[in-house]
């Protein structure tokens, strides 16, 4: 199939991403009667010294990115606007410190937008269960990747790594929270052997 400036977002991402969010029971994310003010702040285990690949990008894994609980704020679907009060305190400072850093992330590709047979926008998900079998991921178990160049060939069912600049923070599309990580993908990175 030849794609030319075709966006799969209305079909694939609406089903794959927004479908998960639409059926996600937000109220069930916390026990009934829980006082949010009394809940402990999210913490991330202390990490070892940062590791960099041969091109100078910090290696960041989903063991870091998905190491904390994140509960999306409820929005009014009739207004479809982001909540007036964001919840940045849910993302630990250790993770927020990765904002605007050059990183390498490894995961499985779920294409969202293609141009001339190359994937220019995709979700990089934590594991194959989310990519290929419809398991519902947590909001911090995927990275939205937008390639800054011409794109890459579709490579599914295998772990792949991408270098780029990471943005950490709530991402909204038409009032819906679509993620908390955005990678401005520069290139596909080579995995070190052995």
On the question of pLDDT at 191 being above 80, the answer is no
Residue 85 covered by a domain: no
pLDDT tens string 48-96: 799 999 999 999 999 999 999 998 877 666 665 555 555 557 999 999 9
Residue 4 covered by a domain: yes
Residue 32 covered by a domain: no
Our count of domains for the chain comes to 1
Residue 174 covered by a domain: yes
pTM score > 0.85 for this model?
no
Q: What is the pLDDT of residue 81?
A: 59
CATH number at residue 194: 2.40.50.870
Which of the pair, 148 or 174, is modelled with greater confidence? 148
CA atoms of 192 and 194, how far apart (whole Å): 7
Residue 73 covered by a domain: no
CA atoms of 174 and 22, how far apart (whole Å): 14
Q: What is the pLDDT of residue 179?
A: 93
Residue 86 covered by a domain: no
Residue 133 covered by a domain: yes
The tokens of 29 are what? 């994310």
Which residue segment(s) compose the domain that 1 sits in? 1-21+50-68+91-194
Quote the mean pLDDT of the chain.
76
Residues in the chain: 194
pLDDT tens string 16-27: 443 433 333 333
């Amino acid at each position: 199939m030849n794609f030319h400036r075709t966006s799969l977002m209305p079909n694939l991402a609406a089903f794959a991403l927004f479908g998960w969010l639409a059926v996600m029971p937000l109220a069930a994310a916390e026990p009934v009667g829980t006082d949010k003010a009394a809940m402990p702040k999210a913490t991330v285990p202390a990490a070892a010294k940062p590791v960099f690949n041969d091109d100078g990008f910090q290696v960041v894994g989903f063991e870091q990115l998905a190491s904390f609980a994140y509960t999306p704020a409820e929005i009014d679907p009739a207004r479809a606007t982001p909540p007036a009060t964001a919840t940045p305190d849910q993302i630990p400072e250790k993770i927020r410190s990765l904002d605007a850093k050059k990183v390498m992330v490894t995961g499985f590709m779920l294409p969202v937008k293609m141009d001339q047979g190359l994937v220019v926008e995709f979700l990089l998900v934590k594991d194959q269960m989310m990519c290929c079998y419809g398991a519902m991921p947590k909001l911090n178990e995927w990275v939205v990747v937008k390639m800054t160049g011409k794109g890459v060939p579709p490579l599914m069912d295998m772990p792949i790594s991408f270098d780029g600049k990471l943005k950490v923070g709530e991402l909204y599309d038409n009032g819906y929270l679509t993620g908390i990580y955005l990678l401005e993908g520069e290139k596909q990175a080579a995995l070190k052997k052995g």
